[in-house]
Amino acid sequence: MQVELLRRIFGLNYNTMYKSSLYVLTLCLLNGFAQSLSAQGEPFTSRTVVSGLNSAWEVLYGPNDSLWVTENRSYLISRISIANGTKTVLVDLRATDGTINFLASSPNQPQGGLMGLAIHPNLYSTDAATRAAKPWVYAAYVYNKGVCPGTNTSCIYTTKIVRFDYDGNTLTNPTTIINTIPGSSDHNSGRLVISPVIEPGADAAHTQYRLYYTVGDMGAGQFLNTTRAENAQVLNNLEGKVLRLNTESDGDAGQDAWIPNDNPFFNAASITAQDYVFTLGHRNAQGLAWGNVNGTNMLYSTEQMDRTDDEINIITAGKNYGWDQVSGYCDDNVNGYKIGQNTSANENAFCSVPANNHQEPIFTTFTEPASGMAALMAQPNNQLWPTIASSSVDFYSSGKISGWKYSLFISPLKKDRVYRVKLNADGSDVVGDTIPYFAGNGNRIRRIRVSPDGLKFYVARDVGATSNAGAIMEYTYAGTVLSLNENPAEGPARVNDMISIYPNPVSDILNIHGKRDLRKPLFAQIMDINGRILLTGSSFRNDFTMDVQALQAGTYFLKLYNGNNMEVQVVKFVKVK
């Protein structure tokens, strides 16, 4: 009984609970050593930034300390003042896009509606000319309601990704990037992100930022989609995939202008669905976020499975993530049961075939062992299934809160809490277990977003939440802030004036001077004001240089680490033409 109580209070996995120090400590507490229970104990204050949204699907930290929000049913893209909650509607798509052929009150709504949103990195620049050169904002939304075959069945929808120009108060001049993405009443996924760095290509036009977009399997095999075909394993079909697209035309003919030529299944002879595909075998990846661990960029996703095994994945070009042949790990726990349209799963039979190029998750939240699957499959109440219905993920890179650096934050639709999972030293795996935060303020959490300062967390709840429905809440860390490194054993000592940089402003070569001897090698990162790492460098000398000629004009930060991988200092500088 104590074991089950622990699992329900803290959201712990069976497969890691027994080795968790949190479990051991709390078991003692349950036996009478303390009066109260707490997962971690970090203090937070909270407030409501804005309420009445219908419902916030995407929440971005935008330029000038604002939140940019998509409302899925209202089809509004808005900018919200963090300070006072003032909402400025940038575009009302139902009023401006005549191809949207259904109303919010129409029956048989798609899941999501207006979903993903991404802001081009140029718009974060402090330089007006840089912002004006590429003032682009990208949105993904269902626009077409097609046939609704049969009785009590899902309609066939279509989704598109559109690029807008931002002029400071409105989004105008829509340019369609793709308008043939399938849609459904279920599992549209819909998360949209931009690469943190400019990605290489054959020439200047093909060298640019890229868009990554998740498409679900349309709910094939369940609810109103019991007869819908499962296409997650069909390469030349956009369903159940992560897509990769250009942020701007690369000059190629027709639709090829928006497809990177180095996509893993690209075939220039004839543009078809497979040319867009970056990865396949996905069920419903509603979470997608870039993270940088020690200079390496990684694309993390969270994905909803059926009754068990909600996944955390690292998205890697060309990989197959298994659905509907595998759920979670290749551990055979779902063998013999129906998953998706697969009536009798056999996980290792699929995973053991090299040609399938299967990629296992780095973690699952949560896994039911094979011994419990019979009872689970007979359980009709999905609120009692171990799945949390993960709806978003964000990457935590700051060293300001002890023990948190290189963590993932995951929002669930079924729980009234947000989970943090700690990554290992190279970001390739999870250490420890799920730790819940911000509990008790309502379920149906659609989005978790970390502020650039690493101290504030924005949580959006759907209009159907048990409390704080349609609101975005801000949780601010109120504990001790570490100024240098996050390892409590090493202490939070502050080190000032360890380096100087010159010239500042700089046009080409930035000189870095160590004012005191530092443990080598030194590791430097140059990032924009949104925290995207653009350049890296290392040195075994106290004095070295970095070439910043390729950077756009604007404000940047240089972050320096010593040979112990401890952050030494952060310095702001201005790049001029």
Listed residue (427, 429, 447, 428) closest to 438, CA to CA: 447
pLDDT in tens, 486-514: 444 433 333 456 788 889 899 999 998 87
**CA distance to 280, 294, 536, 541, per residue, from 544 (Å):** 43, 19, 13, 7
pLDDT given at position 450: 97
Residue 527 reports pLDDT greater than 90: no
DSSP 27: H
pLDDT given at position 522: 83
With DSSP H G I counted as helix, E B as strand and the rest as coil, what are the percentages for the chain, rounded to 5? 10, 35, 50
pLDDT given at position 495: 41
pLDDT given at position 111: 92
Note whether 472 and 56 are within 8 A (CB): yes
pLDDT given at position 432: 84
Per-residue confidence band for 23, with pLDDT thresholds at 50, 70 and 90: very low
pLDDT given at position 521: 81
Rounded mean pLDDT of 27-31?
34
Helices (H), 38-188: 93-96, 128-133
Amino acid at 305: M
**pLDDT, averaged across the chain:** 88
pLDDT in tens, 291-318: 999 999 999 999 999 999 999 999 999 9
Residue 25 reports pLDDT greater than 70: no
Highest mean predicted confidence (pLDDT) among 105-114, 192-201, 542-551: 192-201
CA gap 386, 55 in Å, rounded: 25
Instruction: Give the pairing type, strands 445-450 and 456-461.
Output: antiparallel
What is the Cα 31 distance to its own chain's centre?
39
pLDDT given at position 10: 46
Identify any residues that bridge with 181 across adjacent strands, giving them in sequence order: 159
Q: Which residue has the tokens 């259904």?
A: 102
pLDDT given at position 31: 34
Q: Where are the beta strands (DSSP E) in 339-480?
A: 363-364, 390-396, 407-412, 418-423, 430-437, 445-450, 456-461, 472-477
CA neighbours closer than 13 Å in the CB half-sphere of residue 563: 9
Residue 144 reports pLDDT greater than 60: yes
Question: What domains does the chain contain, in order, with CATH numbers?
Answer: 2-33 (no CATH), 499-575 (2.60.40.1220)
CA gap 106, 21 in Å, rounded: 51
Tell which wins on pLDDT, 38 or 451.
451
Residue 139 reports pLDDT greater than 50: yes
CA gap 327, 33 in Å, rounded: 40
Per-residue confidence band for 533, with pLDDT thresholds at 50, 70 and 90: confident
pLDDT given at position 410: 98
CA gap 524, 501 in Å, rounded: 12
pLDDT given at position 15: 46
Poorest-pLDDT segment among 21-30, 51-60, 87-96, 487-496? 21-30
- Percent of the chain beyond pLDDT 70? 89
pLDDT in tens, 374-388: 999 998 888 889 999
pLDDT given at position 6: 43
Instruction: Give the pairing type, strands 509-514 and 543-547.
Output: antiparallel
Of all helices (H) and strands (E), which one includes residue 26? helix 21-28
Tell which wins on pLDDT, 116 or 104.
116
CA gap 418, 471 in Å, rounded: 15
pLDDT given at position 151: 64
**CA distance to 11, 355, 436, per residue, from 3 (Å):** 11, 41, 17
pLDDT given at position 152: 64
